[in-house]
């Protein structure tokens, strides 16, 4: 298709022996073709650079252009720009855009090489008038085939992972739900046997029965935690304006028994209001505070401190309301702590650093915490030292990108 002659701007309309190349910010500037710097740029560029006539003849190209299309110097005598387009309509759209505006930036198209193979490319080009009134096109072609293929593969893998996770979460929920009834029966019949045979069982029989009921109770607790994790993963978040101070106050009411039993003390500083799922925020802080009380010091009572700090977009600490976009909340205790190398492992499902004979638990609670924080676009980290306590740091945005369900 022959380019239509349209008025161009004054700079591009002026006759000049120089080559008008686009700079990094998209503006055009004239470069003297005899300039040594031009030759270094033209010959050494990793992107294909070309100069073509109005009828599509290639007037000048750099080595990267010849490599991209598989051309020899002799091939350039007969090559035409229009022959490269897989879709001829792309050539028409390109000419229409460049003739109207004088320049095209990152025009995406598919171009055919000499051997017939196809590459995905971005073209940035300008038009200029020649001394005889014709048009010439000069520009840069970038091969983005590998990038697009990698992006497509990443999207495919992400979708496959999403489906796999959804199926696993559904399986975990269904399997856990279906296991509830058999466990209830094991516990119920175990209790009945204990009542019926009280006094008739020897010590060994009584021990076996006690272990059976205890195992069923642990399995029940594990299933409840798995269901909790599954619900967090599958339900998504129901956003609302949440006062974290109120949330923690409610959690402490629920944990009154544990606080009293351990002789613990929980000090809570001012906490922010933010956009979050209120139910999940309650789960988050209940797990963190309960853990801090459970893994208290070997000697003395647990002491837990909860403090919040506001951050701006650069991650700098700022007063509340003064450019703050996120909050960092530290839950610090004086408990048994942990070795630094376990800082990531403790967030994995079913990971326990201590035996069940010393501390109850399923190894799911902190995994639920990380999942909740992740769903809210935040992060959670932990640092600890054996015998010197642990600090869990939760970072959360004050506002979510969108109010969404699921």
pLDDT digits (tens, 9 = 90+) for 317-359: 888 777 889 999 999 999 888 888 878 888 876 555 554 445 4
Closest CA to 310 of 251, 247, 384, 244: 244
Instruction: Write out pLDDT tens, residues 358-393.
Output: 545 555 778 888 988 998 999 999 998 888 889 999
CB 235 within 8 A of CB 278: no
User: Does residue 31 have a pLDDT over 90?
Assistant: no
CB atoms within 10 A of CB 69: 24
**Which is it for the CA torsion 343, 346, 348, 354, positive or negative?**
positive
pTM > 0.95: no
Name the packing angle between helices 203-235 and 278-294 (round to 10°).
140
Dihedral of alpha carbons 350, 354, 356, 361, sign: negative
- Assigned token pair, 70: 């598989």
Task: Tell me the per-residue pLDDT of 287-323, one tens digit each, with 9 for 90 and over.
Answer: 899 989 988 888 889 999 999 999 988 888 888 777 8
User: CA–CA separation, 193 vs 44, rounded Å?
Assistant: 87
Query: What class has domain 145-235?
Result: mainly alpha
pLDDT of residue 294: 87
Residues in the chain: 406
pLDDT for 404 equals 40
Q: What is the 3-state secondary structure (H, E, C) of 179-245?
A: HHHHHHHHHHHHHHHHHHCCCCCCHHHHHHHHHHHHHHHHHHHHHHHHHHHHHHHHHCCECEEEEHH
Instruction: Sort 51 into a burial class: Cβ within 10 Å, 0-12 / 13-18 / 19+.
Output: buried
State how beta strands 317-318 and 19-22 pair.
Answer: unpaired
Contacts 24+ apart (CB under 8 A), 132-137: 133/5, 134/53, 134/54, 135/3, 135/5, 135/53, 135/54, 135/99, 136/51, 136/52, 136/53, 136/54, 136/59, 137/3, 137/50, 137/51, 137/52, 137/53, 137/54, 137/81, 137/98
How far, rounded to the nearest angstrom, does the alpha carbon of residue 156 sit from its chain's CA centroid? 15
Q: Which residues touch 284 (CB under 8 Å, ≥6 apart)? A: 368, 369, 372, 373, 394
Q: How far apart are CA 323 and CA 341, in angstroms?
A: 36
- The ranges assigned to domains in the chain are 10-143, 145-235, 237-406
Dihedral in degrees, nearest 10, Cα atoms 133, 135, 138, 142:
170
Average pLDDT, the chain: 80
Percentage of residues in the chain with pLDDT exceeding 70? 82
Beta bridge mates, 22: 28
The predicted-structure confidence for 134-153, as pLDDT tens digits, reads as follows 888 889 999 999 999 999 99
Give the integer Cα–Cα distance in Å for 400 and 395. 13
Q: Are strands 265-268 and 19-22 parallel, antiparallel or unpaired?
A: unpaired
CA trace torsion 255, 391, 393, 226 (10° rounding): -50
Is domain 237-406 in CATH 3.30.565.10, yes or no? yes
Distance CA 34, CA 354 (A): 75
Q: Which helix (H) or strand (E) holds 382?
A: strand 379-384
| CB crowding 356-381: b at 16 or more within 10 Å, else e | eeeeebbbbbbbbbbbbbebbebebe
Average pLDDT over residues 186-194: 85
Residue 307's pLDDT is: 95
Judge: domain 10-143, CATH 3.30.450.20: yes
Fold agreement (10-143, 237-406): no
Compute the C-alpha angle 16/21/27, nearest 5°.
Answer: 105
pLDDT top residue among 243 and 295: 243
* pLDDT tier, 252 (very low <50, low <70, confident <90, very high otherwise): very high
The secondary structure of the chain in percent helix, strand, coil, rounded to multiples of 5, reads: 45, 25, 30
d(CA 239, CA 276): 5
């Amino acid at each position: 298709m022959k380019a239509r002659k349209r008025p161009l701007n004054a700079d591009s309309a002026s006759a000049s022996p120089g080559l008008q190349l686009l700079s990094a910010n998209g503006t055009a500037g004239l470069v003297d073709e005899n300039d040594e710097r031009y030759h270094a740029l033209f010959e050494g560029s990793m992107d294909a650079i070309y100069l073509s006539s109005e009828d599509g003849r290639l007037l000048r190209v750099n080595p990267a252009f010849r490599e991209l299309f598989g051309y020899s110097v002799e091939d350039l005598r007969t090559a035409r720009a229009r022959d490269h387009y897989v879709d001829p309509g792309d050539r028409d759209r390109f000419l229409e855009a460049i003739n109207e505006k004088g320049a095209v930036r990152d025009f995406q198209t598919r171009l055919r090489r000499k051997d017939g193979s196809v590459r995905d490319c971005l073209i940035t080009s300008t038009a200029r008038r020649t001394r005889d009134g014709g048009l010439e096109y000069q520009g840069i072609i970038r091969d983005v085939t590998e990038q697009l293929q990698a992006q497509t593969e990443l999207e495919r893998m992400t979708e496959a992972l999403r489906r796999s996770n959804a199926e696993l979460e559904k399986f975990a929920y269904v399997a856990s739900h279906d296991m509830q009834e058999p466990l209830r029966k094991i516990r119920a019949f175990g209790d009945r046997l204990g009542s019926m045979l009280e006094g008739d069982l020897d010590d060994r029989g009584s021990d076996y029965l006690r272990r059976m009921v205890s195992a069923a109770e642990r399995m029940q607790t594990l299933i409840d935690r798995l269901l909790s994790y599954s619900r967090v993963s599958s339900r998504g978040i129901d956003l609302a304006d949440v006062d974290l101070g109120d949330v923690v106050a409610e959690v402490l009411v629920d944990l009154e028994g544990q606080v009293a039993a351990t002789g613990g003390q929980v000090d809570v500083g001012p906490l922010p209001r933010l956009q979050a799922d209120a139910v999940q925020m309650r789960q988050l802080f209940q797990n963190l505070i309960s853990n801090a009380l459970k893994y208290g010091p070997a000697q003395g009572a647990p002491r837990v401190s909860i403090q919040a700090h506001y951050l701006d977009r650069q991650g700098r600490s700022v007063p509340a309301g003064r450019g703050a976009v996120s909050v960092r909340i530290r839950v610090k205790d004086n408990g048994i702590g942990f070795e630094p190398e376990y800082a990531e492992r403790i967030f994995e499902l079913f990971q326990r650093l201590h035996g069940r004979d010393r501390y109850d638990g399923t190894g799911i609670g902190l995994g639920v915490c990380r999942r909740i924080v992740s769903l809210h676009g935040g992060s959670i980290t932990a640092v600890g030292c054996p015998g010197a306590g642990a600090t869990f740091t939760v970072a959360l945005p004050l506002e979510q990108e969108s109010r969404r369900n699921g």
